[in-house]
Amino acid sequence: MAQVVVTIKIMPKSPDVDLKIIEEKAKEEITKFGGDTGKVEIEPIAFGLKAVNLIFVMDESIGNIDPLESKISEIDGVQSAEVTDVRRALG
């Protein structure tokens, strides 16, 4: 099976939430799910609020990513987690 590159956007509940803690816990969930985290981007949203964009690679055979979104959404301090991009990796 092919590999897919997934981007998941994690929104914190407030600007006061420590994004590093969210990032580390989300990486743990991604690893448990079978993904390999690559790039992490911090995206300014508004009024000091910043989102964490995690880009990771996983095997296409794993299938549906919804359970991972739910697990990341349950992390303390997370408002929401949404898959914003899925691409098949070539090569």
Q: What is the pLDDT of residue 89?
A: 83
| pLDDT for 3 beyond 80 | yes
| pLDDT for 12 beyond 80 | yes
Whole-structure pTM over 0.85, yes or no?
A: yes
CATH number, residue 75: 3.30.70.60
Q: How far is residue 52's CA from residue 43's CA, in Å, rounded to a whole number? A: 6
| pLDDT for 8 beyond 90 | yes
User: How many domains is the chain partitioned into structurally?
Assistant: 1
φ and ψ at 73, to 5 degrees? Answer: -65, -25
pLDDT digits (tens, 9 = 90+) for 15-68: 999 999 999 999 999 999 999 999 999 999 999 999 999 999 999 988 899 999
Structural domain boundaries, residue 11: 3-88
Mean pLDDT across the stretch 6-12? 97
Task: Judge whether 77 and 31 are in contact, CB under 8 Å.
Answer: no
φ and ψ at 80, to 5 degrees? Answer: -160, 160
Task: Judge whether 28 and 68 are in contact, CB under 8 Å.
Answer: no
